[in-house]
């Protein structure tokens, strides 16, 4: 996208944007996200277009292209950002979508299924009546419960999102 075609961040106080990015990133770090991916994610989220290049992110966050690249790789693996090629350019843009939380959470289903399988093996290996086997069975039941609840919650979210953010 050419500079002229790119949406302009209107009426932005760069200091206020920076405070938001760093503050929200700190909250994400406190919740367990790595620091640089949290900063990149917050910067993308705070941009009007939801899309920035590595150079734009590096300039805004005052970090190296390598730091941006590593952060984007991590975020892409978590389904929180996507990479897009600029038409006619070798440059990539990194984009956050409005449904990134939905995507990130629903993609955890595969992880939950793997954990459930491992826990079932643990119950079988340790014996369902041993203290460790009972603890493992309770953990398995918890993850099975969470798996069902996430699926139901995501369906409710789709309905709620459509009602609240209907584009028209």
22-26, 63-67, 102-106, 163-167: range with lowest mean pLDDT? 102-106
The pLDDT of residue 63 is 97
Q: How far is CA 115 from CA 1, 108, 122, 133, 144, in A?
A: 42, 11, 10, 15, 10
Residue with tokens 């206020």: 16
For residue range 53-82, what is the model confidence (pLDDT) as tens digits?
999 999 999 999 999 999 999 999 888 899
What tokens does 14 get? 């760069």
Interior angle at CA 122, CA 119 and CA 126, nearest 5 = 150
The predicted model scores a pTM of 0.73
* pLDDT tens digits, 137-149: 999 999 999 989 9
What is residue 10's predicted lDDT score, i.e. its pLDDT? 65
φ, ψ for residue 85, nearest 5 deg: -85, 135
């Amino acid at each position: 996208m050419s500079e002229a075609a790119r949406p302009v961040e209107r009426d932005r106080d760069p200091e206020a944007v920076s405070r938001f990015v760093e503050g929200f990133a700190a909250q994400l770090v406190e919740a367990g996200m790595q620091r640089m991916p949290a900063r990149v994610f917050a910067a993308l989220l705070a941009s009007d277009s939801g899309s920035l290049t590595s150079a734009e992110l590096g300039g805004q966050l005052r970090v190296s292209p390598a730091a941006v690249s590593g952060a984007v790789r991590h975020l892409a693996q978590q389904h929180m950002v996507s990479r897009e090629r600029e038409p006619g350019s070798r440059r990539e843009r990194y984009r956050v979508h409005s449904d990134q939380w939905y995507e990130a959470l629903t993609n955890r289903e595969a992880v939950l299924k793997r954990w459930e399988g491992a826990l079932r093996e643990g119950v079988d290996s340790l014996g369902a009546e041993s203290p460790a086997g009972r603890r493992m069975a309770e953990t398995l039941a918890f993850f099975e419960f969470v798996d069902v609840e996430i699926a139901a919650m995501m369906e409710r979210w789709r309905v709620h999102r459509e009602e609240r953010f209907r584009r028209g």
